[in-house]
Each structure stands twice: as structure tokens, then as C-alpha cells.
Structure 1
Amino acid sequence: MASQGGDLAGKRILVPESRDLDLFAGMMEQHGAETIRCPMVKILDLDDPSPARDWLDRLLAGGFDDIILLTGEGLRRLMTVARGMEREADVIAAIGRTRVFVRGPKPVKALREIGCAPFKSAPAPTTDGVIAALADEDLTGRRVGVQLYPGNPNEPLLEAVRTRGGTPWAVTPYRYANDSETGSVEAAIRDMAAGRIDFVAFTASPQVRRLQEVAEACGLADAFREGFARTRIAAVGPVVADAVVAAGGTVAVSPDSTFHMKPLVNAIRRLLTEGDGSGRA
């Protein structure tokens, strides 16, 4: 529910977030926005945790010299598997003995939750950023555990490890499931095409893909293209922004450096308060 006043008053904002939906929507509602809650993607444990267990067994046996963490969720899901193996403390100790490279602030936070710290953070929270962080590293003979996320085998990152002499061992410790009913996603696509949504606030790239998938499956590809092109889009960071552009959209606003929900809300507020040069407030 929107509050009576605020610099987002009168704006209808589509919120595809799942895990922190109420928190994120509430941040915008505090500033007057009317939010349309349409959760797109749910994060789930693996149906078969054996690949994650095998990866952790290798870690526990001293099989990794370095670890690359792309997401905080990935580390948390690995720790869930470790608890199931009754080896949580051992896994934490093993992580503490390795050099840990991270893509961004979320894996840093997850590391701190278990009392560990990164060896090096990527200069930008993207695959290219991680590759840049590895650029000065000699990985000759080093064994590198790489935590990936669903739907992206990330061959460029694995190849970057190989190019520097390392041997990558990849694991994807969780999966995505569609969280929203197709009907609510269809309605969001039609609302965008009709100009009834002022902003879409994306916090993860799978949300963009889910919109596309539903549009194509329901015969709404043209409506999606039209709506995506006409609706202002907020992206929480560069990975999400790339997904938006790939889908044919234009990112109207994104946080400058801190890629979290609160800075995203503040960036939307600034754009609406200051104007974007398009004549739209």
C-alpha cells in the first residue's frame, strides 16, 4: 500500500523480487509508490545435492588452492549442504585456508557470516570484473573451486582460470524455480504495453528472462517488446543491466556503485525528482 505523500507518489512500480519482496516493495511504498508485486523467481536447494557434496569433499581434502564465489546465496547453500554432511566447522576452516575471490558485496557478506574474509574483490560485480581481478594472478598449478549460479555455465570465467594456468572445478549449489503464476506475469506484460506501469525495478537477471519466457509462451512477444521499450527500467547492477539491454530494454537508472535494494530505490527517487531529460517526471 502506498503512503499519502513522497517523491514516488502516484507512480506504479512493478516489483519482480521474490526473496525480499515485502522489504523491497515496502521501501518504495514508504515514499508514496504503488507497487505491483509480481515475484518471478524462487531460489531452491538442489534436487540432488551430490554435486555440491562432491565439491565440498574435494575442498575438505585440500583439493582447492583458491575459491571464486559469484553469489552470496551460493556460499549459503554450500553451507547448508555442509551442515547436512555434519562438516560445517570443517568446511569453514577449509575456506579459511584458501584464497577467496568474490564478485561483489553479497559474497563478502556471506563470507563474514561464517567468520571469513575475501582475498580479493572484483573491481566490478560482473564476470568481467572477476576476470580482471584474476589478471595479475599466476594460477599455474593451482586448483580453483568456482561457484557458479543457475543457468550460466560461465565458460569465459572458467577459460580465464585455465589461461592463467589454473584448473577450475565448478559447482552450482542451488536452482531457480518460477515463483509467480503465469497469469500475473501476463498481466504485468499487458500493463507495461498499455503504459500502466511507470517503472520496473529488477534485482536479478533471471527476472528479465522469466518475463521474456512467459511473453513467448503466451503469444505476447510483441506486447513484451512494446512494453519493455516504453517502460522505464531500474536495474540493481551491471549484470541485471546487461540482461535488460539483451532483452531490448533501456536502463533508465541504476545505483552508481553500491548494488543493493536501498541504493536502487534512492536512484529511482533521484531520477523522478530531478527528471531525466525526457519530459517525464
Structure 2
Amino acid sequence: MSELPLAGFRVGVTAARRAEEQIALLERRGAEVVHAPALSVDPNRIDEAALLAATRQVLAAPVDIFVATTGIGLKSWFTAAERWGLQERLLAHLGAAEILARGPKSVGVIRRFGLRELWAPESEEFEDVLGHLRGRDLAGRRIVVQEHGQSLSMAAHALRRLGASVETVAVYRVEGAEDPEPMFGLIEQIAARRVHAVTFTAAPAVAAMMAAATSTGQRDDVVSAFQADVVASCVGPVTAAAFEMWGVPSVYPDRSRLAAMVKQLEAELPSRAEGTALEVAGHILLLHGDQVLLDGVEVKLSPAPAAVLQALLVNPGSVVSRRDLLAALPSGTAGSEHAVEMAVARLRAGLGTRCVQTVVKRGYRLATAP
């Protein structure tokens, strides 16, 4: 077996920004990478006129509490204010308020511009900022919330119910990838369990992927794949929280960093593959990612027989019909039962003729030990 920890594993990458860095980290560890950007390379589109109007609205009255949610959004806002000749006034205005920051990136920008946050949650989660506010008397308080690419109107409404006057400042809106085809291709691979993990570095990327899966009618298949076989790997808790509404479990490292996310996958994927050893026709069959080992010797399989093996392994020893095996074959394979027979023949050539049994008029099964 290869000494590279991710050899034999296929990983989908949904990032657009810093994608090359992430792909390099994965490939150096042996992973095969499927790159499908979920968002635009420059996703943060600023509506200058709308932002200027929102800035003037903020300056129109004293602010009691200011909530900063992202470093890039805050920096973009302050930079735009400088172009309008309003930066010094805006900083002084917000500096007189109680400043809450969602995480270290927004804290960094706050301090860089000479301001100081009063509180930030250790979790880096916006929900904890809301919890902090909900525990206080907000009657008559004016709160300004800098949005983070997606609308926070529901959060603002919840705070208004507590008596606060709340305004949201939409610095930018996140836009989807210019070419959606790679994402559609990745969605097909997720649904077919042909990738072992998919990485996400931003919550909007999760929303974009699920929207694309919904548009192609594959949302339920994608959710099922993530719930059972495909690892949803997130850079941090904020991104992971975007999966909660779908009932999808996800993993994320203690530190919200690319290298930490990849390091976590080094341990996560091999550990999940360790339990796939089976006794088949007197041999030990072991799957490590996409690597197939028979009695410790790697067996090279082309896509069609590999797809048949994966289908037979879903319930080892159970009969799988020719129709179901045909559906499992890679797209582009000739759509007939003869294609299934050819794929089974090639699988037998790789594993040995006794490893795959024919069940007359029903289909095929692995010859697993009773």
C-alpha cells in the first residue's frame, strides 16, 4: 500500500479562491482531486450605490452595538468609505459603539483600523453572537450588523422582537460560479459515491452546491451520500453549520485553516476505510479508498468493474440484479446487460473467477464467507 496517506481516495474541492493551494495540499498526500468551484473566483460583488446609502443611514444616528461578521466584508466597507471620503467619520461613529466580532478575521480588521472589539465568541459562530445578544436587555438599543455575503434578515428580525432597532449592512453578495458544469459533474459523483470526501471553505459554497443538486433533481441522493458514505469536510464550524438544515454530518478541524482541514482528512478517510476487509472465496479483500487489495496485493480495476465491485459491496453477499448493476456503471458505458456481463468478466479476471458468483435469473453476488 502507498505510504501517501490519501492515496486511493478521490476528494472533491468546491473552493474557487485559494483552490490551487488546497489542491496541491491534497495531491501531495496522494489524493485524486475533482475541482468543481461552487462560487465565483471573485464572488464578493459590491453594489456601491446600495452600500453608500446604507453607510449614510448608519451615520444618521448613534450606534449602540455594532456586530462585525467577516474580515473581508469589513475591510471592503471601510475601503469603500475611504473612496467616498467617509472613512474617518464612519470609524469614529462605530468606535463609539460596543463592538462585537464573530471571529479572529473580523477582529484583525477591527484592530487594523484603530477600533477595538469588546467581545468575540471562541466558537467563531454567528449563532453564539446572537445568543450573547439575546441574553441582554435590548429595548431601545440601535444595533448595526455587517452581513457576511448572505442575508441576515431573519437574525435582525429576531433581535427586533427583543425591542432593538436593527439595521443590516450588505457589503457584498456572494455569486455562484461562472461555469456550473464542473459542479453538476461533482454532484453526479457524490450521488454515485464515486468521491470519498468533498471540502468546503465557505458556507455559501454549501448553499450553492445544494441549490445545484436541487435543480438537477439529485438533492436527496446527495444528502443520502453525505449521510452514509461521503465525508463533508469543512474548514470550520461556520461552514459546517450550513449543513445542519440538511441533516448532513460534517467534520471540521479545531483551527479554521486549510492545512488543518487537509490534515484531518489524512486521518478521517483511512480510518473509515479500515473496516472494509472481507473474506471472499478464501481470499482477503481490502478496500483502501479506490485501492483494491486481494491478499495484500493491489488489483488494478478499470471504472466499469470497479463500479460493479462497489455495488456488490453495499450489502456483501446479497444478490444485486443486472438492472441495478447497469445503473451503477459509469456514464458513457453502453446501456445493455451485455455491458454488465463484460464488467463482471473483467472483475472476475482481476479477483478470480470464484469471487463473484452468478445467481441464475437474479444477478450476481460476492462469494463472502458465511
Shift of residue 248 of structure 1?
4.4
3-state DSSP of counterpart to 1:141: coil
Deviations 1:83-135 (A, max 9, x none): 33123333333333322111222212332332333211024333320122225
Q: Would you say the 8 A contact 1:58–1:64 is kept in 2?
A: no
Say yes or no: does 1:15 pair with 2:13. yes
Among 263, 273, 276, which residue is 2:260 paired with?
263
Show the counterpart of 1:112: 111
Gaps of 5+ in 1: none
Q: When the two structures are superposed, what TM-score results if normalisation uses the length of structure 1?
A: 0.83
Amino acid of the structure 1 residue aligned with 2:207: R
Deviations 1:183-208 (A, max 9, x none): 11111011122322111111222212
Pairing of 1:111-130 with structure 2 (within 5 A):
111-130=110-129
Shift of residue 161 of structure 1?
5.8
Alpha-carbon distance change, 222 to 64 in structure 1, aligned in 2, over 3 angstroms: closer
Distance in structure 2 (CA, Å) of the matches to 1:95 and 1:16: 35
Q: Would you say the 8 A contact 1:12–1:33 is kept in 2?
A: yes
Pairing of 1:1-281 with structure 2 (within 5 A):
6-42=4-40, 43-46=43-46, 48-61=47-60, 63-135=62-134, 137-160=136-159, 163=162, 165-229=163-227, 230-251=229-250, 253-256=251-254, 258-272=255-269, 275-276=271-272, 279=275
3-state DSSP of counterpart to 1:246: helix
Gaps of 5+ in 2: 277-287, 289-370
Q: Would you say the 8 A contact 2:151–2:170 is kept in 1?
A: no
Amino acid of the structure 1 residue aligned with 2:143: V
Deviations 1:209-252 (A, max 9, x none): 2222222323434543444343111122333223223234322x
Q: Which has the higher contact order (CA 8 A, sep 6+)?
A: 1
Distance in structure 2 (CA, Å) of the matches to 1:263 and 1:166: 39
Alignment RMSD (CA, Å) = 2.7
Distance in structure 2 (CA, Å) of the matches to 1:68 and 1:104: 11
Alpha-carbon distance change, 51 to 64 in structure 1, aligned in 2, over 3 angstroms: farther
3-state DSSP of counterpart to 2:261: helix
Q: Would you say the 8 A contact 1:103–1:126 is kept in 2?
A: yes
Q: When the two structures are superposed, what TM-score results if normalisation uses the length of structure 2?
A: 0.65
Identity %: 26
Alpha-carbon distance change, 140 to 217 in structure 1, aligned in 2, over 3 angstroms: closer
Give the aligned length: 273
Q: Would you say the 8 A contact 2:39–2:174 is kept in 1?
A: yes
Q: Would you say the 8 A contact 1:82–1:88 is kept in 2?
A: yes
Alpha-carbon distance change, 167 to 261 in structure 1, aligned in 2, over 3 angstroms: same
Amino acid of the structure 2 residue aligned with 1:197: V
Distance in structure 1 (CA, Å) of the matches to 2:273 and 2:131: 34
3-state DSSP of counterpart to 2:117: coil
